[in-house]
Amino acid sequence: MSYLVLARKHRPQRFEEVVGQEHVTKTLAGALASGRVAHAFCFTGPRGVGKTSVARILAKALNCQDGPTPTPCGQCPACREIEAGQAVDVQEIDAASNSRVEDVRELREVIRYRPQAARYRVTILDEVHMLSKAAFNALLKTLEEPPEHAVFILATTDVHKVPLTILSRCQRYDFRRLPPRLLAEHLARVLEAEGTNLPAESLALMAREADGSVRDALSLLDQVLSLGRESLSHQEVVELLGLVDRELVRTTARAVLEGDAARVLELVEQVYAAGGEMQTFYAALQEHFRNLAAALAAPEGAALFGLEAEELAELRREAAHFSPESLHEVFDHLARSEELFRRAAQPRLVMEMTLLKLTQIKPVLSLEDILARLGSGDGGEEDGGESEESSQGPAPRPAPQQDSAAGPAAARGLAEMAGREGYPRLASYLGQGEVLWEEGLLVVRLPATPLARELVTEENQRRLEDMARQLWPEVEGLRLEAAPAPEEEPAKPPADREAQRAAELADHPAVREAVEVFEAQVVALNPTPGQS
């Protein structure tokens, strides 16, 4: 007895057995129940999502001895012949190999005659977008006004290549890719029917590799079951299918982000020695960095890419050690190098050099983080890394002393809080100022510069007073002021004052740091008075 592959053995025979296309099957079932069945349909969608299967079910529903009915019996001669592909009145034509105008003319002649045994003569044109322009033109009139006994079902994976004149004569149904979770559940039901067992993580892996296609997922499962064992470990499934080891991808990504060049070369050598495809591994790395960035940005409980809850939790723990900007920078570089990698005669060398270059990328900080660090006095570290204090969380700040200078610690405390609250410009000047304590009143004194004096507003004073009370509950009030200028300078014309303010802003540490980080050039300076 010849073996029947799973994709054919478990092909759905009723509308309710179709997986993940309820928006199509419910509409067709309703049309059959109400008697509002069109004479031409266009089923479009990716490969392996059920277009041909639904077309066969629709043919059975139209020709069943109890029909037209949304629930064909599957036992009458018409149903059995259609299931076996032996019905003379149901034609399945491959348009890719019958694309000439002569083939369509022959089809038109056959359509004119009434069905021999069935109620309707159903014509299923698979991959209809492969028809020539002349063939489409020959089909137009017949498709618009076919005989009463004729029904056309056009199936295509590329609907954009089908002329609008054809689509306008059909009812169009768009089939969707199945989410990995739904595919994995379907594979579990097939395994139960086959009496075998596989780990859930293996089913999830096959579902992701299938890219939403039921047929591809069942083909992968068929390959695993061909080994003839009742159960397999996840690692055995990975090796059998020749898929990329996810743990190897995670380890490589971690080595890249940590700048461990020696470890990166060692891991690429492992992939090459195991006979792995460099292109597949490169694509898996891109996907992993995408997953890391998405897991870091997505809220808790969000479903991402069909990943299991444990995998998402692991991704979030791993991504928490790096900034979103660093992950985006690595992904962008991989994407830019992809075309070079695909055209390379020796992909391994391009892979090694690309990953080595990525290990040299320093951690990328957002502009807000840069300004906050500069304002808190942490921006002077040459390695650009976090200080011990910031890595362990904010430490409690010493309270200002009565009738004395509160010292730089209090100023840094206010600067850090202002940076976290979203006022980077105010935070930068707080880090350069001083904090005094005068009879229960906290005096915050900004530097004696024109730009700093612009920040002395009632709104900023209220903000700082709220922040100070969070740090030091004993504070009764706060006064914001700018330090007096050393000498009273003669009044300058407005143009000179603007030039002085622009020069001061250009020399500000935050601006210099931003220019260095982004490799930018200052072309214009336009500070807005009163802005924080």
For the chain, give the mean pLDDT: 80
Taking the C-alpha atoms of residue 47 and residue 214, their distance in angstroms, rounded to an integer, is 9
pLDDT, position 411: 75
Sheet with 434-438, strands from edge to edge, namely 434-438, 441-446, 477-482
180-241 with 246-359: one CATH topology?
A: no
- Judged by average pLDDT, the poorest of 199-203, 396-400, 416-420, 447-451 is 396-400
62-66, 79-83, 90-94, 418-422: which range is least confident on average? 418-422
- Which of 83, 102, 169, 95 has the alpha carbon at shortest distance from 129? 95
The yes or no reply on domain 246-359 and CATH 1.20.272.10 is yes
Among 85-94, 160-169, 334-343, 514-523, the range scoring the smallest mean pLDDT is 514-523
Residue 149: band (very low, low, confident or very high) from pLDDT cuts 50, 70, 90: very high
Region 482-493: mean pLDDT is: 62
Contact of 293 with 325, CB cutoff 8 Å: no
The model's pLDDT over 324-363, given as tens digits with 9 standing for 90+, comes to 878 888 888 888 888 888 888 888 888 888 888 888 877 6
Q: What is the pTM of this model?
A: 0.61
Sheet with strand 171-174: strands edge to edge: 90-94, 121-126, 150-156, 40-44, 171-174
Per-residue pLDDT for 500 more than 80?
A: no
pLDDT in tens, 252-286: 998 888 888 898 898 888 888 776 678 888 888 98
Q: Which two tokens stand for residue 467?
A: 């922040």
What CATH number has the domain spanning 180-241?
A: 1.10.8.60
**What is the predicted pLDDT for the residue at 405?**
43
For domain 6-174, the question of CATH label 3.40.50.920 is answered with: no
Angle (nearest 5°) at CA 76 between 24 and 156? 30
Residue 522 has pLDDT above 80, yes or no: no
φ, ψ of residue 434 to 5 degrees: the values are: -140, 160
Q: What is the average pLDDT across 384-392? A: 41
Q: Which range among 8-12, 140-144, 371-375 shows the weakest confidence by mean pLDDT?
A: 371-375
Q: Report domain extents, the chain.
A: 6-174, 180-241, 246-359, 365-384+397-532
Q: Looking at this protein, which amino acid is placed at residue 482?
A: A
- The residue ranges of DSSP E strands in 389-528, in sequence order, are 434-438, 441-446, 477-482
